Structure 1
Amino acid sequence: MVKDVQWFVGIDWATRSHCVCLLDAEGRPAGQRDFAHGGAGLTELCDWLVEKTKAAPGQIAVAIETPHGPVVEMLLEHGFMVFAINPKQLDRFRDRFTVAGAKDDRRDAHVLGSSLRTDCAAFRQLAADNPVVIELREWSRMAEELQQERTRLANRLRQQLWRYYPQAAKLTDDVADDWFLALWQKVPTPDSAAKASDKAIARILSAYRIRRLDAATVLKTLRETPLLVAPGTTEAACVHIRSLAARLRLVNQQIKEAQHSLDRLCAKLEEQESPAGQNPEQCDVAILRSWPGIGRIVLATLLVEATEPLRRRDYHALRALAGVAPVTRQSGKQRFVIRRLACNRRLQSAVHHWSRGALQYDAAARRRYDALRQRGHGHARALRGVGDRLLFALCATLKHQTPYDADHNSAKISAAG
């Protein structure tokens, strides 16, 4: 991979400046400088490396901890070979250079460059991502952040209702829904509910297409015996809920925008992967979409968090990154297997939900789950086992460029188990 490389660079990145150490093929330091973070500073870094080495960017290997960000993008754009390493592994490499535990930016930059020269197998080579994947990754992470923010705001709203208006929360499990916010705005207190008309409530239910409730049921619930609260409590809670409702409406709108963007970008990525004359079902996005349990969120997460393993059809890297590959610890006569904690949390969550959904639609996944439960494994452990088998079969379908087939993949998953 780096047979023709004669120069090795270690970059200890930071917020304001980046410490760079340049080493030759024998590991001797050839230069060390700090470069400010910014367009001018990073351009100066690239020019300095080329000028100092008198070599083409493709003959210079750069080691860095983070696998993404402006520093990595600038180096890849200029044609340098960029390699990333986990910070925990770098900490172990640092012990080879000092046993006293000393640490500073210059030492870390030197350790990165030297380790890349001697232990290239521990590093992962980076490549520029598809622009659509970069945009999809941002929308996917934004959608998750927005959903978390919605849950936090909903919990706070429910707490305020508990203070003075608990009967309102009985109408729905999701107090952050737009229809409930509109209903609360119309009848924010038990006193206003006593005066509200059936027609006013019916108009709100009709506008938001709520059919499981009618106006009479809603008013009957809201007119239950109210709490006796101290003077001012109702007014204070209403002020707080009004603020929460405004933010929830905005978050709900942004979540819808994020969902539309995820669909649009996945479709755009599918179009790019379908060259002229190829069956649309043979592209990766279409194959992923064909699997039961993979919806909008899981599809986007798999595409952006496991881009390289999916592209290489690397099952072992994929299962480790998703946290379904167990970790074996053996020393002498002791040997035990534990759950993998070092993984991509977003990808781990996506595979968990994929496995949970597959239990409802895939007979092979259900049989695998039941077999693991019969062995005495818990629910979460059994789902990880199902996810492991699903990833194995997914990589097989990607290698053969065939969409999901229930009968074929049932046999494949059973054979893998």
Structure 2
Amino acid sequence: MKHYCGIDWASDHHDISIVNESGKKVNKFRIDDDLNGYHTLSNTLKSFEVEIPIAIEAKDNLLINFLIAEGYEVYSINPKSAERYKDRYNVAGNKTDEIDSFALADMLRTDMHKYRPLEYSSEEIRKLKILCGEYSKLMKDKNMLESQLYDVLSKYYPIALTLFSSYNCKTLYKLILKYSTYEELRKVSYEDLEKFLKENRYRKAHYIKKVYNKIQGNDYYALAIFDETFSHTARALVKMLLILEAEIKEIKNKMTEITTTHTLGTIFYSLPGSGEILAPKLLSIMGDNKKVYLSSSEIQAYSGVAPVTKRSGKSSRVKFRFACNKEYRNTLTTFAFCSLNWSPWARGYYDKSRQKGKRHYESLRLLAYKWTRIIFKLWQTGELYSEEYHTKNLERFSKNILKIA
């Protein structure tokens, strides 16, 4: 007799329900979120002496990794789908962990044919996916800290923002650590400033003189109370930024190393405008397991570059897709934007979309939709991207359309 397992997972424990093919609950129990709990679950499932598929409202955690390593088929159920399914037999809206785990098991019993078991790429790709995610998070933190530093400096140390070409360069950070107030900076001698700038790769005499004259020639208004308070915040922000930049650089190097050594890496580096950041991110999205995506439409829907169409009777609406992997959408639309300067057909497609009245970001999503088809085909065949080959295909397709018309 077939059996099905549902897991309602939490941070410190997991509720398990097992049902048979007629929908009767044959076992229920709770395990702790540790190795002993995982083995208890595995041993219980093995006691039925049949293969038991497992449903859970998650895609990647330690429990799922353990179950897949043990050889179980694990199905990731969208929480929204599970919530709608529970309404079929729980009209009153009662909610307990036991009810949730039972609903997942029963959902697998009735609708398993609508889902696919989780498929993972190689360990290297999974590592790359994590690195890309952490890179994006740290970059957001870095941008946030840079904005905070700009705000603090504009309040008590505005001249520091005008000395260099950018307010987020390392030379400015080191300047703030060494001369954290305008009073300290104004007292510095030309020789000391020259030494400091040359140590930070500013060696041209006319530039050093320009910076020195700017410091000495401007009498910025400064309050001692501001210097004594905001200087602590500025130094703290700079120290955090320097630590972040070092970690971001290390993560970036690891991303590049994995992508350049992977057999599929050259495909993504061949894409116009991909570069050293987007190529690893695109590889992490696609992976190296060809069972993960069966068609380009799956990637388009999951990443949110494909819209949602709602039809009923004579009405039809095309809406923006909110339920998606937003990190994937950001990667694909960013790549579409970067391709504009490197791919003539991409630039032409974007310009035509804008001429039709589409907004900038909407046009990028449409272009990302097109690029996803190309990337999927290259990923399947293992071929490198060729702008000339793709342009000829577009011309041939246009001629065929004209013949049909």
TM-score when normalising by structure 1? 0.88
Q: Which runs of 5+ in 2 are unaligned?
A: none
Give the stretch that moved more between structures: 352-361 or 213-222: 213-222
User: Distance in 2 between the 1:332 and 1:163 partners?
Assistant: 60
Match of 1:301 among 278, 281, 296: 281
Write out aligned runs for 1:1-400 (5 A): 6-51=2-47, 53-55=48-50, 59-172=51-164, 174-210=166-202, 214-223=207-216, 225-268=218-261, 270=262, 273=263, 284-307=264-287, 312=293, 314-400=295-381
Cα distance change of structure 1 residues 122 and 249 upon mapping to structure 2, 3 Å threshold? same
Give, as a single letter, the amino acid of the residue that structure 1 aligns with 2:353. Answer: L
Cα distance change of structure 1 residues 309 and 339 upon mapping to structure 2, 3 Å threshold? farther
Q: Conserved in 2, the CA contact under 8 Å of 1:63 and 1:116?
A: yes
Residue by residue over 1:291-345, the C-alpha shift from the partner in whole angstroms, topping out at 9 and shown as x without a partner, is: 0121232222223344367854620011112211011112222211111111111
Shift of 1:371: 1.0
Give, as a single letter, the amino acid of the residue that structure 2 aligns with 1:378. Answer: R
User: Distance in 2 between the 1:200 and 1:321 partners?
Assistant: 57
Q: Conserved in 1, the CA contact under 8 Å of 2:120 and 2:292?
A: no
Cα distance change of structure 1 residues 311 and 410 upon mapping to structure 2, 3 Å threshold? farther
Counterpart secondary structure, 1:191: helix
Q: Conserved in 2, the CA contact under 8 Å of 1:328 and 1:337?
A: yes
User: Distance in 2 between the 1:11 and 1:346 partners?
Assistant: 27
Residue by residue over 1:108-166, the C-alpha shift from the partner in whole angstroms, topping out at 9 and shown as x without a partner, is: 11111111121124433113442212222222122112211211211121111111221
Cα distance change of structure 1 residues 35 and 412 upon mapping to structure 2, 3 Å threshold? farther
Aligned partner of 1:277 in structure 2 is: none
Cα distance change of structure 1 residues 131 and 397 upon mapping to structure 2, 3 Å threshold? closer
Q: Conserved in 1, the CA contact under 8 Å of 2:5 and 2:17?
A: yes
Residue by residue over 1:343-373, the C-alpha shift from the partner in whole angstroms, topping out at 9 and shown as x without a partner, is: 1111111111101110000001001101111
User: Distance in 1 between the 2:292 and 2:54 partners?
Assistant: 23
RMSD: 2.3
Give the stretch that moved more between structures: 59-68 or 295-304: 295-304
Give the stretch that moved more between structures: 382-391 or 180-189: 180-189
User: Distance in 2 between the 1:248 and 1:320 partners?
Assistant: 36
Q: Which runs of 5+ in 1 are unaligned?
A: 274-283
TM-score when normalising by structure 2? 0.91
User: Distance in 1 between the 2:168 and 2:257 partners?
Assistant: 26
Cα distance change of structure 1 residues 408 and 311 upon mapping to structure 2, 3 Å threshold? farther
Give the stretch that moved more between structures: 348-357 or 24-33: 24-33
Give the stretch that moved more between structures: 159-168 or 206-215: 206-215
Number of aligned residue pairs: give it: 396
Cα distance change of structure 1 residues 324 and 411 upon mapping to structure 2, 3 Å threshold? farther
Counterpart secondary structure, 2:310: strand
Counterpart secondary structure, 1:60: coil
Give, as a single letter, the amino acid of the residue that structure 1 aligns with 2:387. Answer: A
Do residues 401 (structure 1) and 382 (structure 2) align? yes
Identity value in percent = 25
Residue by residue over 1:242-264, the C-alpha shift from the partner in whole angstroms, topping out at 9 and shown as x without a partner, is: 11121111111111111111112
Shift of 1:287: 0.8
Q: Conserved in 2, the CA contact under 8 Å of 1:85 and 1:124?
A: no
Cα distance change of structure 1 residues 173 and 6 upon mapping to structure 2, 3 Å threshold? farther
Cα distance change of structure 1 residues 344 and 109 upon mapping to structure 2, 3 Å threshold? same
Cα distance change of structure 1 residues 340 and 65 upon mapping to structure 2, 3 Å threshold? same
